[in-house]
Amino acid sequence: MAGQIATGGIHHLRLTVTDVARSREFYTGLLGFDVAVESPPPGDPAAEEAYAVLFGGVVMIRGSLLLGLRPVAAAGDRFDEDRVGLDHLSFSVAGRAELDEAVRLFDERGVPHGEIKPLPGFGIFVLPFRDPDNIQIELTAPMA
């Protein structure tokens, strides 16, 4: 349509976190992201240039989605979806069986989570949980 920008899917998201190592383990170990680009260690000649892009963080990939973690939040700061900005992230899974498997995995690893909720008006099931910085994440599966 004329006068509108034709956007496609989401290219990447970057989250501000309090502890990159802890968040990286959560997103790689639990949600299956792979590290794509990591900040060089302090003292590495490339560290200063990388800091301008990565802010001392890491970029991970899962499928076509890039997810960055940026360690600039103050220690003890917590996410609050009632402030301006992000409300939550939602990742899709293939079906209800994957949500049931996620519940099993969360319970096994001690990750607090909500119940699987049907949202028939949207034709989906949703399983809410939170990352180490309290950012709400959902796994979403089609009902059909």
Domain around 98 = 87-144
Which candidate, 134, 109, 139, places its Cα nearest to that of 29?
Answer: 109
Amino acid 53: pLDDT: 58
3-state secondary structure of 122: coil
Amino acid 56: pLDDT: 67
The region of weakest confidence among 5-9, 28-32, 93-97 is 5-9
Residues 91 and 45 in one domain: no
79 has pLDDT over 90: no
Q: Which of 44, 74, 104 is the last residue of a domain?
A: 74
In 3-state terms the chain splits into helix, strand, coil percentages (rounded to 5) of 20, 30, 50
| Most confident of the following: 1-10, 15-24, 46-55 | 15-24
Residues 46 and 67 in one domain: yes
101 has pLDDT over 80: yes
Residues 102 and 62 in one domain: no
Amino acid 42: pLDDT: 64
Cβ proximity of 54 and 68 under 8 Å? yes
Give kind and range of the element (H or E) at residue 103. Answer: helix 96-109
